[in-house]
Amino acid sequence: MSIAQHYHERTKYDPATIHAKSHALNWEEQPIPFKDYQLGVSFDLKPALENTSEPGSWWKRLSKLLYCTYGLTGMIPTAGEPHYLRSSPSAGALYPAELYLISRGTPRLPAGLYHYQAKTHSLIHFWESDVWASLQSACFWNPVLEGTQMALVATAVFFRSVWRYQDRAYRRIFLDTGHLLGNLELACGANDYRPHLIGGFADKAVNQLLYLDGEQEGAIAVIPLADRLDINENLSLTRTALPAALQVDYPPLEDGQLLNYLHQATQIQWDTTTHVDWSRPNDGIEGAAFTGALAAHQADKYNFPFCHKVPTIVSPVDWGTDLDGLEQSMINRRSTRAYTGEPLTLDDLKALLDFTYQPQSYIGQDLDGSPDYFDVDLVETFVAISNVTGLDEGCYYYAPKAQELRQIRFKNFRSQLHYLCLGQDLGRDAAAVIFHTADLEKAVGKYGDRAYRYLHMDAGHLGQRLNLAAVYLDLGVSGIGGFFDDQVNEVLGIPADEAVLYITTLGRARKP
């Protein structure tokens, strides 16, 4: 096994060992989910957010983009510090991600490094220097950086999630970042930006550029922002994912050492002689979402013989004037805590799948028909149906290119789903449960151990699209990152070589 495969096996939840490996939380060590820079020039984004007289102003667009991507959207009072909620969901509300902005130097944002202070909705300019060439070098001279003026960098503060989830936190960190990337992609569309995703960069160089301690916090995605209102920034798409080494020779690792070792192993080393061909293989399809062109090139992975097939083509979700419905869904999004057990309709499910997997249907609403993923073709989707009007109970494979559900098991799985989701009532009472999986061996064969990052961020990105569509349609939705891994495959009849990445539950929310 490579180190990524070894990590995945070691961090599986198993009924026989989960209680023995559980640990008591030390609440005195609970991490603060904010990074606070004390020195620097602050750019307050709140006035622009509240400004109604200039709806399309540059500052308003940037302010709304950051707010909808990772801003504070709610607060729960507590005896101590209030519990803050954000537009992007996070496992255990631990929010391991941080957002930085790098400016090439514009009339509005001087060159240098900025940190997004979510708590005050502001940017703090903590390093005043031209660092763009260093960013280009760290990203192996990706051509998108030649044509853009700003870039976001998403990082992870590891201990925030490790405090609760220990070694398995690495999975959740990248799922959470995928949620953020899903918000960013859609918020860019609503504010006339085009995010260009870069997952292939020299980790140590980007960390040094941002003055990060790579042991505590690491860069995990670079996202140049092209301004769609500037014709010079209408840029060609490039590859999003680069391979790292495949490490099969590693020392014995004790519990508590796995996460840090894997993160170091998944890094790409910087080399001045490295030359990257950034053009997209497969006629520009790889790394993009499912499009009509993609359907002509590739078939869906599974086509089970003699299975019942249900078409899922449906009218696109209408997000309203100027995508107001999408913006409000980001702001109002909350994870459902309990379901009623009542049914969804088949049209509800079709609408959720359509928005998540068929972005080409939303070009007419000014959303990107081919948003950036790392390699979404590696991610498969299975749906366990417990209570959907017009659809038989059982487990289905969702074929996005053919746009159909293919039934692989005939059974009501409510009790098993309750068990698989570690006894969470969300699994039992949901009307439908969506499983994102991947052939991990195939993925690491293509991208080395860094594939583990790509898979989980793509799964989180897809999960966030499901989240937002469900919120807009007044449905309940909640992601689950804790489950009995191997038992999912056994119970649902999913092929054994599919590693389960993420679960999203859907249903009718129980009102408080």
Q: Write the pLDDT tens digit of every residue in 59-112.
A: 999 999 999 999 999 988 887 778 899 999 999 999 999 999 999 999 999 999
What's the mean per-residue pLDDT of the chain? 93
Among 252, 279, 306, the domain boundary falls at 279
Is the alpha carbon torsion for 381, 382, 384, 387 positive or negative?
A: positive
The answer to whether residue 14 scores a pLDDT higher than 90 is: yes
Query: Can you read off the two tokens belonging to residue 274?
Result: 């490295």
CB atoms within 10 A of CB 291: 18
DSSP 324: H
Cα→Cα distances 488→103, 404, 460, 466, 498, Å? 45, 22, 18, 21, 10
Say if 25 falls within a structural domain. no
Give CA–CA dist 447/501, Å, rounded.
17
Q: What pLDDT was estimated at residue 291?
A: 42
**Which helix (H) or strand (E) is 17 found in, with range?**
none
Query: Can you read off the two tokens belonging to residue 510?
Result: 């129980």
Q: What pLDDT was estimated at residue 298?
A: 66
Contacts of 38 (CB under 8 A, 6+ apart): none
The answer to whether residue 284 scores a pLDDT higher than 60 is: no
Give CA–CA dist 102/323, Å, rounded.
27
- Helix (H/G/I), strand (E/B), else coil: 342: coil
Q: Does one domain contain both 313 and 414? A: yes
Give CA–CA dist 466/320, Å, rounded.
18
Q: What pLDDT was estimated at residue 295?
A: 44
Query: Can you read off the two tokens belonging to residue 157?
Result: 């503060």
Among 232, 257, 279, the domain boundary falls at 279
Cα→Cα distances 382→352, 485, 505, Å? 14, 14, 12
Say if 17 falls within a structural domain. no
Q: Write the pLDDT tens digit of every residue in 353-402.
A: 999 999 999 999 999 999 999 999 999 999 999 999 999 999 999 999 99
The answer to whether residue 274 scores a pLDDT higher than 80 is: no
For range 32-55, the mean pLDDT:
90
Say if 399 falls within a structural domain. yes
Q: Does one domain contain both 327 and 206? A: no
Query: Can you read off the two tokens belonging to residue 282?
Result: 């497969």
For range 336-346, the mean pLDDT:
96
Q: Write the pLDDT tens digit of every residue in 194-239.
A: 999 999 999 999 999 999 999 999 999 999 999 999 999 999 999 9
Among 279, 307, 334, the domain boundary falls at 279
Considering only CA atoms, which of 180, 173, 33, 155 is closest in space to residue 98?
155
Query: Can you read off the two tokens belonging to residue 99?
Result: 């957002």
Q: What pLDDT was estimated at residue 281?
A: 67
**Which helix (H) or strand (E) is 170 found in, with range?**
helix 169-190
**Which helix (H) or strand (E) is 263 found in, with range?**
helix 258-265
Q: Does one domain contain both 324 and 454? A: yes
Say if 142 falls within a structural domain. yes
* Three-state secondary structure readout of 221-243: EEEEEEECCCHHHCCCCCCCCCC
Q: Does one domain contain both 363 and 406? A: yes
Split at pLDDT 50, 70, 90, the class of 282 is: low
DSSP 31: P
Considering only CA atoms, which of 80, 46, 88, 278 is closest in space to residue 172?
88
Query: Can you read off the two tokens belonging to residue 105?
Result: 């130097």
- Helix (H/G/I), strand (E/B), else coil: 23: coil
CATH number at residue 77: 3.40.109.10
Number of structural domains found in the chain: 2
Domain carrying residue 174: 3-8+35-279
Say if 383 falls within a structural domain. yes
By DSSP bridging, strand 388-389 and strand 344-345 are parallel
Q: Does one domain contain both 235 and 331? A: no
* Three-state secondary structure readout of 89-100: CCHHHCCCEEEE
Q: Does one domain contain both 147 and 189? A: yes
